[in-house]
Amino acid sequence: MTGLGGVGKTQTALQFAFWVRHEKPEYSIFWLSALSSTRPGFQSYPERLSELQEVWTIVDNADEMDLIRGEGGHSFGIDEQLPQSATGQILSTTRSNEVALAVSDEEPLELGEMELEEALKFLGKSITSKLLLADHSLVSELLEELTYLPLAIAQAAAYLNRNKVTTTRYLGLLRGTEQEMTSLLSREFPDRTRYRESKNAVATTWLVSFDHILAHDPIAASLLRFISRIEPKDIPLSILPRGELEEELTYSVGTLCAYTFLVPREGQEVYDMHSLVHLATRIWVQKSGLASKTTMDAYKHLVKLLRTGPVYEPYSRQYISHALGILRSEDRIETRESFVLSHEVCLYLLSDGRVREADECYRQSYDWGKMHLPENDLDRLEFEDVLSTIYVHRGQVDKAIELFQHVVAIHERSCSFEKDANPHLQALRKLKGLSYIRKDMRETAGILRKIAGTLSKLPSGHSGLRKVETYKLIQKLYEAEDGTKPTRMCRLIRQYYLEIASQDQDATAIIKKLAYEIEILIKTAPSSDRNLLFKVYTIKKTRGRQIHLQRVVELAQYMLAMVESRWAATATIMSAASELMIARTVHGGPAARVRELEYVGPLWAEGDHKVPSQRLAFQNQMGEAFLEDGQTLRGVSILRHTAKTWKAAGAWDGNHQLLEVQHNLGMAYHRLGHRRRAMELLGYVAEFRGKTLPKDNMRRVKTEKLLDVVQKEMEEAEKTGGR
């Protein structure tokens, strides 16, 4: 019989012994405690055992393989000395499944925690003041908090009996700080049903097993230390630290599973640890004097995992939950490692639309970074980069620009054009985007001038030099906003799109490279290989880009005709031009777009995308494509699912991707005639976009126009008595 320490194996075996004595008087019962192995006379047990025939032999607490096999300083092995008889029976209790499999050819009986009714009866028998049991709901809460573990229930009853406190008071201590909980559950109490050698306190009952694991499987012990720093539930195998050999990790995880310290989920490489065992691992690490080192090692491992491992699928949420757990715990140490881990976690939270959590995470670390890291420290600059994104999400664009102007200034002072100008260029491009959001065209033009200037300083042969003229043209376009004659704007826009069209040569080079790679993959990989499929899709998309570049120029010509005919206001044309500059690749019409998205869809579903937000953005594109193709119901189904997924992920209400999904869903409801639903959604989107986007931003304009159409239709319907 196996089970976690404290689950009641000894008591179950004892009850069974009394049952045998009462129901089977012809049997003798011999009780052997492995905990007594150091006592005088213990070595005479094997001789006495071999003399017994018709007997029930109970070997209790056979937890150490050394004692079972006669290794590690033990002069004999219990297993070798146990009688082999057709008339006798042997029951062994152990915490270790490994021992269970060694002493028996049959599958061991695993003893789990009590059910609620069993736990209520046990507490009722153990407690002296029955008034404490009057509030059934409160008692059930207490038992749930104790995870229905018999040893924890016995300890709680002993504490209540001795200290005459209420159940509410005990629950408060149990739910208090970790220090309170540790102190409470470390209290030893008298228990005549347990051995004198046993630790009766819940928090310390497993420490002997931890030490045994440390002596016999150091890798498993290091895993215990790491797990003490993360959350006890939903632990993916892939998050655990590993050495050079994967087999070593497999074996050591098996050791922890053998002691029931880890419990595997059926059909998954995911494990759970009992919450009280988790508390015990933390106490064990603290007693060993390794608390700070263990925390620092966990920071470093998680940073490495988030930066280099296959983090985003299929266990991305678990990784982030565990990283958040260690950052929010009482063990947190403010160091560069925790600062960098906060940065990596926040990047994920932002990509997943969880802006509020990202904001909370950054608040914890930013003050430390400002105090302890120099202004030009790359970790600090990256941190401030993402912090500015949080400000934008919260509608604090001025604050974001102020912070990022500081970042750009630091990059300008420390940038090395010979080695790597990318950080400076990326900072300038982001600042340009922030300036456009604020609709400061003069400031935007100045930043574009800086970008062109930075590019022109690059070493000869650098690919960035080809973009200098493009940025200069865009700069002139922004400078031309006020008082520009339409003819000049036409020339500037035409030049910009001709510059785009010239990029066909780049697309051709990419196609040639991909074609070569696909040829190699066809020879070496099965046709279902996802890498091969993705490259095939990429080459299709790159060829499509060449077609698209031509269509972009055609679209620009149409816009130019509008400008030349003075059919549109300058501000509207400026906004349209900016939207076209960042427009995504769409070619071949709605039906072709649907086919293309359906082709690549399975690849995204299986995890070839990098972050969850990319999958959700893909789903939004899929929904849009179905709407454009006239398949409105399919589009609604996808968009509703996408919006629900974002909400479940805790996305901030003003997340721009979520707003785009909701806009498209409102448009779909309008097409289906559900005007009231459409008006509610579009009104919600228009409110947020009105607060955060300039008046002539295309996204804001399209939402407001559609909302106006729906409102007028609603008013007209009310006048005529329709719905």
pLDDT tens column, 61-95 = 777 777 776 665 555 567 666 766 666 788 888 88
Bridge partners of residue 31, in order along the sequence: 58
Establish if 17 belongs to a structural domain. Answer: yes
Range of the domain at 715: 599-723
The helix or strand, by DSSP H or E, that contains position 105, with its residue range, turns out to be none
Give the range among 284-288, 326-330, 420-424 with minimum mean pLDDT: 420-424
Q: Given this model, what pLDDT does residue 214 score?
A: 93
User: What pLDDT, on the 0 to 100 scale, is given for residue 318?
Assistant: 83
Asked if 358 contacts 346 with a C-beta cutoff of 8 angstroms, the reply is yes
pLDDT at 717 over 60: yes
C-beta of residue 147 within 8 angstroms of C-beta of residue 274: yes
- Split at pLDDT 50, 70, 90, the class of 507 is low
* 464 and 407 together in one domain: yes
- Residues 50 and 154 placed together within one structural domain of the fold: no
Measured CA to CA, the distance from residue 243 to residue 79 in angstroms comes to 34
- Residue 229's pLDDT band (cuts 50, 70, 90): very high
pLDDT at 132: 84
DSSP assignments along 77-92, one per residue: -HHHHS---SS-EEEE
Side chain identity, residue 588: G
pTM of the predicted protein model: 0.62
Both 671 and 553 in one domain: the answer is no
Indicate if 534 and 630 belong to the same structural domain. no
**Residue 202 domain flag:** no
Shared domain check, 567 and 526 = yes
Looking at 191-200, 288-297, 332-341, 474-483, which range is the least confident one? 474-483
Query: 644 with 700, same domain?
Result: yes
Query: Alpha carbon of 402 to those of 387, 406, 438, 534: distances in Å?
Result: 12, 7, 12, 41
Region 442-447 average pLDDT: 58
| pLDDT at 571 (0 to 100) | 38
Give how many domains the chain has, as a whole number: 5
**641 pLDDT tier (thresholds 50, 70, 90):** confident
Q: Are 455 and 464 in contact (CB under 8 A)?
A: yes
Q: Kindly state whether residues 579 and 613 are assigned to the same domain.
A: no
* Opening angle at CA 478, ends 477 and 482, nearest 5: 100
Quick check: is 312 in a domain? no
Same domain for 50 and 72? yes
Mean predicted confidence (pLDDT) in 434-455: 57
**Residue 147 in domain:** yes
Structure confidence at residue 295 as a pLDDT band (50, 70, 90): very high
pLDDT at 469 over 60: no
- Does the structure show a pLDDT above 50 at 324? yes
* Residue 125 and residue 80 share a domain: no
What was the pLDDT predicted at 384?
81
- Looking at 76, 103, 130, which one is the last position of a domain? 103
- Give 257's pLDDT tier (boundaries 50, 70, 90): very high
- pLDDT tens figures, 392-415: 766 677 777 777 777 777 766 665
Is residue 375 a part of any domain in this protein? no
- The per-residue pLDDT for range 327-382, each reduced to its tens digit, is 988 778 888 888 889 888 888 887 766 777 888 888 777 778 888 888 878 788 77
* Residue 221 to residues 248, 271, 677, Cα–Cα distance (Å): 12, 16, 57
**Inside any domain, residue 68:** yes
DSSP code, position 381: H
Query: Residue 483: its pLDDT value, please?
Result: 45
Cis peptide, bond prior to residue 314, ω within 30 of zero? yes
Please, are residues 494 and 458 in contact by the beta-carbon 8 Å criterion?
no
pLDDT digits (tens, 9 = 90+) for 169-191: 888 888 887 788 888 887 876 66
Of 423, 456, 474, the domain-final residue: 474
pLDDT at 591: 55
Residue 681 has pLDDT above 60, yes or no: yes
The enclosing domain of 671 has a CATH number of: 1.25.40.10
Q: What is the mean pLDDT of the chain?
A: 73
Mean pLDDT within 534-559:
51
The pLDDT assigned to 244 comes to 81
Whether residue 173 lies inside any domain: the answer is yes
**Is 176 domain-assigned?**
yes
Cβ contact 146:156 at 8 Å? yes
296: pLDDT strictly greater than 90:
yes
What is the pLDDT confidence band of residue 716, given thresholds at 50, 70 and 90?
Answer: confident
Flag whether pLDDT at 576 surpasses 50.
no
Distance CA 682, CA 491 (A): 37
Helix (H) or strand (E) holding 613: helix 612-628
Q: Which of 265, 266, 261 is nearest to 232 (CA)?
A: 261
Predicted confidence at residue 29, as pLDDT, reads: 84
pLDDT of residue 245: 86
Single residue among 474, 497, 520 that ends a domain in this structure: 474
Q: Which of 58-67, 93-102, 671-680 has the lowest mean pLDDT?
A: 58-67
Judged against a pLDDT cut of 70, whether residue 416 lies above it is answered with no
577 and 613 assigned to the same domain: no
Q: Identify the band that residue 225 occupies on the pLDDT scale cut at 50, 70 and 90.
A: very high
Among 105-114, 234-243, 376-385, 455-464, where is mean pLDDT lowest?
455-464
Whether 41 and 62 map to the same domain: the answer is yes
| Cα separation, 93 vs 11, whole angstroms | 10
Does 611 have pLDDT greater than 80?
no
Residue with token string 């958040």: 324
